[in-house]
Amino acid sequence: MLTYLSIFCFFIAVISTGDCHSFRNCSYHGKLYDFGEHFMDNCKSCECTEGGIVLCMGIADCSEPYVCHHNGTAYKAGEKFPAPTGECTCTYDRGIICSVNKKVH
C-alpha cells in the first residue's frame, strides 16, 4: 500500500507542477533529508526513501545513547559535525558517515 501511495503522490506532483525534484528529499519534523540518507529520531533509525517517505524502525537496545568518537570528541547518534571535506553524521547502524563538498566552477 505504501508503494502505491508514493507512486500516486509522485504522479500528482508531476502532473500539477511538472517537477520531479520535490521527491528527491524528505521533510521530517521540519528538517530536510536527501534520498537514501539515514538519521536518528530518539530511539528510531530512520531513512529517507523514494517518494519523499521517511521509514523508521525502533532500535533493539536503546537504554544507553549510541555515541561515535571522532578526533577526541564524542557525538550522539544523529548528531552532525563539520569535517575538512564536508559534514559528518554519527549513525547508529553505520558509524560515522561523511559527505564530500564538491566545488562548482
The verdict on 42 and 71 lying in the same domain is no
- pTM value surpassing 0.85: no
* First-to-last C-alpha distance (Å) of the chain: 44
Same domain? For 56 and 76 the reply is no
Residues 27 and 52 in one domain: yes
Domain-embedded: residue 4: no
Domain ranges, residue 72? 67-100
Domains: count for the chain: 2
| Residue 87 domain flag | yes
Q: Which residues of the chain have pLDDT under 70?
A: 1-23, 59-65, 102-105
In a domain, 92, yes or no: yes
Q: What is the 3-state secondary structure (H, E, C) of the chain?
A: CHHHHHHHHHHHHHHHHCCCHHHCEEEECCEEEECCCEEEECCEEEEEEHHHEEEEEECCCCCCCCEEEECCEEEECCCEEEECCEEEEEECCCEEEECCCCCCC
Residue 42's pLDDT is what? 73
* pLDDT score at 80: 92
What number of other Cβ atoms are within 10 A of residue 65's Cβ?
A: 14
